[in-house]
Amino acid sequence: GENVEQHPSTLSVQEGDSAVIKCTYSDSASNYFPWYKQELGKRPQLIIDIRSNVGEKKDQRIAVTLNKTAKHFSLHITETQPEDSAVYFCAAQPRGSSASKIIFGSGTRLSIRP
């Protein structure tokens, strides 16, 4: 089955700098890759996603890139702000999975230093 690995597990960056979180997946047929953000004490929420027919997607300060050949995808946050502090989860959806289930990575705790 699908396996998603996420690195690093913790990341601390200076406010205003960029942050990059990387994930790899094992099932080459996976076709949907969402990223969820979970602020302290709150529920995870989708922040951006990418499908396998697209190499890059941007939404203001966040972007996701996908390299299908290497089976890895990354989240890029530019001009980081204190409100970016959270745990970020990458995920992958295997093609043909029933109920559109997704497999999550282990999470990255991002801290923004003032």
Partner 1 sequence: DVKVTQSSRYLVKRTGEKVFLECVQDMDHENMFWYRQDPGLGLRLIYFSYDVKMKEKGDIPEGYSVSREKKERFSLILESASTNQTSMYLCASSLGTSASYEQYFGPGTRLTVT
Q: Which stretches of the chain bind partner 1, using CB under 8 A?
A: 1, 6, 9, 32, 34, 36, 42-46, 49, 89, 93, 98-107
Tokens of 16: 């205003």
Nearer to partner 1, 8 or 16 (CB): 8
Q: How many CB atoms neighbour CB 80 within 10 A?
A: 20
Q: Name the residue type at position 111.
A: S
Amino acid at 68: K
Provide the minimum distance between the beta carbon of 91 and partner 1 in the complex, in angstroms, as a whole number. Answer: 8
Minimum separation from the CB atom of position 79 to partner 1 (A): 25
Q: Which residue, 72 or 78, is less far from partner 1 as judged by CB?
A: 72
Considering beta carbons, is residue 35 or 84 the nearer one to partner 1?
35
CB of 16 to partner 1, least distance (A): 28
User: What is the pairing mode between strands 19-25 and 103-104?
Assistant: unpaired
Q: Indicate the Cα dihedral angle 25, 29, 31, 34, nearest 10°.
A: -20
